[in-house]
Amino acid sequence: MAFLRHVIFIGGYDPKGGKRVYVEQKKQASLYAERFGKKINISDVDKSQNLRLTWSLHNPQDDVTTQFDLLQWDDLVRQRWARTDAQVVREALASLWEFVSTGQIVQMWRLSRPLVYAALLPYTLALLAMALPMLAGGLSALVLRMLGAQSTLAWAIGAVVASLSAALAYRELRKVPVTWFLRVVAFARHYAHETDQQPQELFYRERIRAWTQELVSNLATSHADEILIVGYSAGSIIATGLLPELSRTLPSEQRSKLALLTLGNCIPVTAASPAAHATRQDLKDIAAQNHFWVDITSPTDWGSIHGIDDASRYAQMPASPFRKQISPRLHTLFTPTSYEALRKDKYRVHQQYLLCTELLGDDPQAYDYLMLICGSLSLQQRYASPAP
C-alpha cells in the first residue's frame, strides 16, 4: 500500500533563500542512488505559495510519496542581519551580557562544553586581535630602545607596527566564519524574549502564525499518513513553536498524525533564558499532547546540544517514550579515514544531518535522512522501540 507523508521543513538561520535546500537535496538524492542503488525522484519546485516552497519526493521502490514544504524565513533573517562590524559587536556584547548575567553560560557549560567553546571563540579571537598588535608594537619599541634609538622614534615605530599588525589581524579575523555563530546566538536571544504579553515585539512568532494559516487548509484535508515537522539547527527552535500552533488548529484526526524531528538541536540556547516563558510553554504543550518527538544530534557537533530532553529540563514534564534523544552515530556511517576527516571539520559535522552518508547503518534505526523523509516507516514506527 502506498505511503503518503507531508514534511514541513524549517531550515537554519540563513539569509540565503530556500531554493538552495532544494538544489542540495537533489544532489544528495543523486549521491544516494549512486552509493546505495535506491532512486528518489524529486519534482520541480512550486513557488506559488507566499511563505513556502513546495516539491515532492517519490521513492518508487517502497511506493512512498512525500510532499515537502520548505517554510521560508530567510527574509526575516535578512531584516535582523547585522550589516556592519559595529552592529555585530553590539549584538555580541548584548548576548554575552545576558548569558553571563543570567547564569545561562553556566547552564550551557554543564550541558555542552564544546558549545560554550564555540560560543566564546569569537570573543577570544577578537581579544587576541586587539592584544597581539599592542604587544607587537610595545615589543618593537622596547627592542629599539635597547638598541639605542631615541624614545620618541622608538615609540613612533612601535605605533606603526601596532597599526599594521592590527590591520593584518582584522583582515585575518574577517576570514574566520565566527560571526555566523554570534548571529545565531543573537537570534536565540531575540526569540526567547517574544511573548504574547508584548505583542508589539513579536517577529518570528508572527511568521509561525502566518505559516499555520497558510498550511492549515492543506493539512486539514490531507490524506497523508504522517505529518512530519523537521527543524534543523536554529530551525529546531522555530519548530517547537510551530508544532503547538498547528496542533491547536488542526482537526483531531490530523493532529494525531503530527510528529517532530529535530536535527542539530540548539533549543536550550533559547529555552534556558529566564525570558523564554513562551518557549517553555511550547515544550510543555508538545509533551502534554504526546506528539512523537525524536531529536537526532551528534555529540561531535559543536554547534548543537546532544542528549537533552528539553521538555523535561525546561518545562518540568515527566520523561516519556514519546520523546527520544538519539545520536546519529556518524562513526558507523563512514569509513574510519573519512570519519576522522569529518570529525575535524566542525562546520561539515553540523551540515551532515542533511547530507548523504558514505555507508548505510546495519540496524533499523541507523540514521538515514532521506529515508526519514521518504521511507516507508513513520518516525514513530522507526523509533518506537529502544535503540539497540
- Identify the pLDDT of residue 21: 95
Would you tell me the crossing angle of helices 113-146 and 179-192 to the nearest 10 degrees? 130
147, part of any domain: yes
The length of the chain is 388
Q: What is the structure's pLDDT at 360?
A: 93
**Residue 43 falls inside a structural domain:** yes
Dig out the grid coordinates for 360 from the structure.
548505510
Q: Which of 182, 217, 236 is the last residue of a domain?
A: 182
Query: CA nearest 286: which of 252, 324, 253, 322?
Result: 322
Contact between 284 and 318 (Cβ < 8 Å): no
Q: Are 354 and 232 in contact (CB under 8 A)?
A: yes
Task: Please name the residues in contact with 286: beta carbons below 8 A apart, sequence gap of 6 or more.
Answer: 240, 243, 244, 247, 260, 293, 311
| Same domain as 299, residue 255 | yes
Alpha helix locations (H) across 112-249? 113-146, 151-175, 179-192, 204-220, 235-249
Q: What is the pLDDT along the chain (388 residues), one digit of tens a residue?
A: 689 999 999 999 999 988 999 999 999 999 999 999 999 999 999 988 889 999 999 999 999 999 999 999 999 999 988 877 778 778 878 887 888 888 877 777 777 676 666 666 666 666 666 777 788 777 887 887 787 778 888 788 878 877 887 777 667 666 656 677 788 888 999 999 988 666 667 899 999 999 999 999 889 888 999 999 999 999 999 999 999 999 999 998 999 999 999 999 999 989 989 999 999 999 999 999 999 999 999 999 988 888 889 999 999 999 999 999 999 999 999 999 999 999 988 889 999 999 999 999 888 889 999 999 999 999 999 998 654 4
User: Which of the listed residues 123, 152, 182 is the one where a domain comes to its end?
Assistant: 182
Q: Does residue 222 lie within any of the structural domains?
A: no
Count of domains observed in the chain? 2
Q: Could you tell me if 260 and 171 lie in one domain?
A: no
Same structural domain, 97 and 62: no
Considering the domain boundaries, does residue 211 fall inside one?
Answer: no
Is residue 237 within 8 Å of residue 189, measured between CB atoms? no
What phi-psi label fits residue 151: left (phi over 0), alpha (psi between -120 and 50 degrees) or beta? alpha
Same domain, 161 and 296: no
Look up residue 200 and give its amino acid: Q
Angle CA(112)–CA(115)–CA(121) in degrees, nearest 5? 140
Q: Judge if 124 and 145 occupy the same domain.
A: yes
Considering the domain architecture, whether residues 262 and 289 belong to the same structural domain is answered as: yes
In a 13 Å sphere around the CA of 102, the CA atoms on its Cβ side amount to: 18
Is position 213 within any domain?
no
Asked whether residue 200 is domain-assigned, the answer is no
CA–CA gap between residue 178 and residue 166 (Å, rounded) = 18
Residues contacting 340, CB < 8 A, separation 6+: none
Co-location of 232 and 365 in the same domain = yes
What is the Cα–Cα distance from 55 to 49, expressed in whole angstroms? 11
Residue 84 is predicted with a pLDDT of: 79
Q: Which of 156, 182, 208 is the last residue of a domain?
A: 182
Residue-wise over 361-372: b if at least 16 C-beta within 10 A, else e? eeeebbbbbbbb
- 67 and 94 part of one domain: no
Supply the pLDDT for residue 388. 43
User: 352 and 289: one domain?
Assistant: yes
Supply the pLDDT for residue 208.
96
The three three-digit cell numbers of residue 156, written as one number? 613612533
Enclosing domain of residue 262: 3-73+227-383
Report pTM.
0.87
What DSSP character marks residue 45? P
Q: Is 276 contained in some domain? A: yes
For residues 269 and 355, membership in a common domain is answered with: yes
Q: Are residues 162 and 252 in the same domain?
A: no
Examine the domain organization and report whether 130 and 66 are in the same domain: no
**How much is the pLDDT for 128?**
67
Instruction: Identify whether 378 is part of a domain.
Output: yes
R_g (Cα) of the chain, nearest Å: 24
